[in-house]
Amino acid sequence: MKSKRIGTLPATLMCGLLAAFLGAMAVKYMAVPAIALTPEENMNQANANKADVGRLVQLTIDLDILEKYYHPEVPGRKPLCVVKTESMPDDLSLTKFGEPVRFIPASQREKAPAACLELSSIQIQGDTASVEFAYDAEGIRGEVSFRRTGGEWRVENRKLHEG
């Protein structure tokens, strides 16, 4: 049996009835209507998030402010190493310097070479997103914010901290 969306009118009506019987405090706890997703909608949401994460990670590793720190001519820096966190899909396919990115599981981070880009936080909220990163080989940390416009993610702001 397919689940169906619960409309906002019944939830709003319920809030009103509860407020009338229980007082204004009921509205505080009932203000957001519930939405049930079908399995197909859940799958579409998961695929969208997977695609979004992949695109945001690729945009992050391609940031112009990071280019001077990668040093692909130095042994051990090519292909680019990225620490794979739980927020990244298993089948993520990224490239840098014309080669596939090499992933190191977060559980093996301490054994990994210092020249691994670590994405410590990937947050997506609607049409905005943010990524925090560190590249210990060069002693840098930073964050980048994104906005989705016209279906495409674009860098909105970026900050880099040395030391």
pLDDT of residue 47: 54
- 56 token code pair: 């945001």
Domain co-membership, 92 together with 20: no
pLDDT in tens, 59-98: 999 999 999 999 999 998 999 999 998 888 888 999 999 9
Domain co-membership, 80 together with 27: no
Kindly give the residue spans of alpha helices, DSSP state H, lying in 62-112: 67-70
Residue 52, SS3 per DSSP: helix
Domain co-membership, 50 together with 21: no
Structural domain harbouring 135: 43-162
The Cα–Cα gap between 146 and 61 comes to: 13
Nearest to 30 by CA among 46, 10, 48: 10
Task: Evaluate if pTM is beyond 0.75.
Answer: no
Domain co-membership, 31 together with 60: no
Provide the percentage of residues in the chain whose pLDDT is more than 70.
Answer: 71
pLDDT in tens, 23-51: 443 333 333 333 443 444 444 445 558 89
